[in-house]
């Protein structure tokens, strides 16, 4: 049992390091994905919607579809929602809005929330790994104290076990606290993306209904 506990320190340190790296990787990946899905600025979004409106007024649906599927826009959420709406414009407005909401949830939010859930998992797991190191270190320390009367104990070995208990706890918190803040920042960005897409799609739907009613 003691041999297993002796190995717990390196294993826990390695696990915390991997967790920290993967957590940072998820944060960076999410930020990049959100940037790809959003317009660079509100001005760019307004310009895009104005171009779409002009083509819709001419009933140039193919032109709108080609524009949405062009390199500057094909990775962004709003143009992809518009492209999907154009392909299903024969549906009623209410049904089309429902389909758009489902597609956004399925194709955009689902992937972002999946990645974000891993950040939350790491935030919860890192302190537990630290606690495991604390328990392992204290068990080893008390085991040495228990046999101290028989043959004495080396204070440096005892200090090493106690330091394991303290360092693993500190490292667990060091991993969890920054990732908690970064996860909250990413969640705010996801919320802003959702609000922006909903606003842009609402504007487009108004313009589409006007074009179809002409």
Each of the 214 residues of the chain gets a pLDDT tens digit; together they read 555 556 667 788 899 999 999 999 999 999 999 999 999 899 999 999 999 999 998 889 999 999 998 888 989 999 999 999 999 888 888 899 999 999 999 999 998 999 999 999 999 999 999 888 888 777 777 776 666 655 555 666 666 667 777 888 889 999 999 999 999 999 999 999 999 999 999 999 999 988 887 6
Euclidean distance between CA atoms 174 and 123, whole angstroms:
10
Euclidean distance between CA atoms 131 and 180, whole angstroms:
18
State pLDDT tens for residues 187-201. Answer: 999 999 999 999 999
The encoded tokens of residue 11 equal 């294993």
What is the three-class DSSP state of 53?
helix
Which residue matches tokens 């962004």?
Answer: 76
Q: Using the 8-state DSSP alphabet, how is residue 70 labeled?
A: S
């Amino acid at each position: 049992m003691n041999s297993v506990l002796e190995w717990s320190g390196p294993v826990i340190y390695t696990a915390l390091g991997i967790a920290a790296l993967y957590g940072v990787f998820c944060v960076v990946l999410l930020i990049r994905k959100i940037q790809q899905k959003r317009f660079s600025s509100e001005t760019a979004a307004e310009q895009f919607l104005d171009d779409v409106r002009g083509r819709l007024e001419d009933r140039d649906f193919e032109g709108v579809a080609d524009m949405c599927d062009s390199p500057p826009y094909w990775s962004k959420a709003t143009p992809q929602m518009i492209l999907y709406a154009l392909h299903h414009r024969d549906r009623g407005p209410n049904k089309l809005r429902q389909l758009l909401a489902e597609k956004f949830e399925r194709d955009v939010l689902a992937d972002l929330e999946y990645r974000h859930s891993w950040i939350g998992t790491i935030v919860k797991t890192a302190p537990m790994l630290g606690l495991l190191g604390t328990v392992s270190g204290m068990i080893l320390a008390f085991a040495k104290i228990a046999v101290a009367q028989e043959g004495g104990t080396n204070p440096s070995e005892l200090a090493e076990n106690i330091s394991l208990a303290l360092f693993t706890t500190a490292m667990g918190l060091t991993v969890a606290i920054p990732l908690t803040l970064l996860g909250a920042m990413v969640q705010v960005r996801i919320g802003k993306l959702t609000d922006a897409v909903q606003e842009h799609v609402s504007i487009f739907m108004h313009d589409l209904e006007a074009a179809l009613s002409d």
